[in-house]
Amino acid sequence: MTSHPLAYAARAARFRPSGVRSVFDIAMRPGMISLAGGSPDLSVLPREQVAELAAGMIRGAGPDALQYQPAQGLDGTIEAIREVMRAEGVDAAHDRIQVTAGSQMGLQVLTTLLADPGDTVIAEAPTYVGALSVFGGLEARVAQVEIDEHGMLPDALEATIARVRATGSRIPFLYTVPTFGNPSGASMSAARREAVVELCRREGILIVEDNPYGMLAFDDEHRLPLYARDPENVVYLGSFSKIFSPGVRVGWLAAPPELRGRVQLAVEAMTIHASVVGQVLAQRFITETDWRGHVRRSADVYHARRDALMAALDEHMPPGTTWTRPHGGFFTVVTLPPGTPVDGLLDAAIDARVVYVPGSEFMADGSRADTLRLAYSFEPEHRLAEGARRLGEAIRALG
């Protein structure tokens, strides 16, 4: 048998191993404490009940759960999604919703439909690494806008729009995680939400709002999604991954009907439709369990873990270190004091058996090497505390 070197398309080089994936593998090593991956803790799930749902699905729905189904998504799943969205204060009509294989796929489809090579997507600085992979893979550029603890700065957004337009590059959309951002943990205030929605409407820039963490709040503040403020100019990406299970790979998007129809055509080309087994399971989780209670209990667990991690950072980080204090979600970003040596820090941390994701992963230009994303979603409190201790030791050892 002869073997020829494969002639890859030029774009193949744009799919590089992500730092997040490689630390994910490291996180599996025995004795390692993982502050890296954004995995939900599934121990809070009513496991027996979910097992019953899964068995009943095959016994009850039988062939329907195992057959090809409509590309938009199952009617029942769409109705379950509408219920979840109503809990966030959003009433989205049935024909605006498209079920996808996770919200990651929703973003892939939207970017395929809306961004040509050389266009510039605007996003937060820092932003979700998986979104950067999508934009890079589809040859879009990324301009990142400064944020603070209240989210994106409208003035900085306005300046970025002007700067990008001055280069002649088109802006297909603004991508934002406005609630409990990944990695920042920051949430846009109500005033910022209004300002950003208004600015984008005025500038004719579509907003893509990615909201997998919105229901996992640690307080009673209601953070109304941008979509509810302007459903004609905002596309909403939702997901069952953080409120039920990432393994079912079911997410959705809500968009104006014309765009939603285009998305359906692209979904058909890419996957025909999202997994029906996953859709039925997610639907039954919403209609047949106390899903709101589950989400509340999950948020309580993450809240206690945030507190444990923050307390441990207080105790173990070198003076001058700062970090964000999220009011929900999974992540905080730690900024090391100026002058702290960062070369070799990840290796030193791994040697000390703790792993995190370097902040540079969340910047298109690889900057912010002095920052670290820490996830508190997965490890129990005592291990978060020990992880922070090991991390503090690794930082000191390098200094």
Ligand X SMILES: Cc1ncc(COP(=O)(O)O)c(C=O)c1O
By the criterion CB under 6 A, which residues form the site for ligand X? 38, 102-104, 128, 130, 177, 182, 210, 212, 239, 241, 246, 251
**Cα separation of 362 and 70, whole Å?**
36
**Cα separation of 288 and 180, whole Å?**
28
Q: What b/e readout covers 101-110, taking b as 16+ CB neighbours within 10 angstroms? A: bbbbbbbbbb
Q: Which is nearer to ligand X, 77 or 321 (CB)?
A: 77
Tell me how far, at minimum, the Cβ of 208 lies from ligand X, in Å.
Answer: 10
Tell me how far, at minimum, the Cβ of 180 lies from ligand X, in Å.
Answer: 9
Q: Which is nearer to ligand X, 368 or 390 (CB)?
A: 368
Q: Which is nearer to ligand X, 69 or 133 (CB)?
A: 133
Q: Which is nearer to ligand X, 37 or 392 (CB)?
A: 37
Tell me how far, at minimum, the Cβ of 162 lies from ligand X, in Å.
Answer: 27
Tell me how far, at minimum, the Cβ of 128 lies from ligand X, in Å.
Answer: 4
Tell me how far, at minimum, the Cβ of 248 lies from ligand X, in Å.
Answer: 9
Tell me how far, at minimum, the Cβ of 52 lies from ligand X, in Å.
Answer: 24
Q: Compute CA distances 110 → 19, 90, 187, 286, 300, whole Å.
A: 24, 21, 23, 26, 33
246: number of Cβ within 10 Å? 18
Tell me how far, at minimum, the Cβ of 368 lies from ligand X, in Å.
Answer: 17
Tell me how far, at minimum, the Cβ of 37 lies from ligand X, in Å.
Answer: 9
Nearest residue to ligand X, scored by beta-carbon proximity = 102
Tell me how far, at minimum, the Cβ of 36 lies from ligand X, in Å.
Answer: 12
Q: Are strands 151-152 and 141-148 parallel, antiparallel or unpaired?
A: antiparallel
**Cα separation of 156 and 159, whole Å?**
5
Instruction: Read off the amino acid at residue 373.
Output: R
Helix (H) or strand (E) holding 193: helix 190-203
From 361, 390, 392, 365, select the one nearest 37 (Cα to Cα).
Answer: 361
Query: In the 3-class helix/strand/coil scheme, how is 23-45 assigned residue by residue?
Result: HHHHHCCCCCEECCCCCCCHHHC
Q: Which is nearer to ligand X, 213 or 342 (CB)?
A: 213
Q: Which is nearer to ligand X, 180 or 218 (CB)?
A: 180
**3-state class (DSSP) for residue 78:** helix
Q: Which is nearer to ligand X, 102 or 392 (CB)?
A: 102
**Cα separation of 321 and 198, whole Å?**
36
> Which residues are CB-contacts of 7 (< 8 A; sequence separation ≥ 6)?
none
- What DSSP designation does 217 have? B
CB 268 within 8 A of CB 71: yes
Q: Which is nearer to ligand X, 120 or 133 (CB)?
A: 133
Q: Which is nearer to ligand X, 39 or 289 (CB)?
A: 39
Tell me how far, at minimum, the Cβ of 38 lies from ligand X, in Å.
Answer: 4
Torsion of CA 109, 111, 114, 116, to 10 degrees: -130
Q: Which is nearer to ligand X, 154 or 251 (CB)?
A: 251
From 378, 305, 389, 355, select the one nearest 31 (Cα to Cα).
Answer: 355
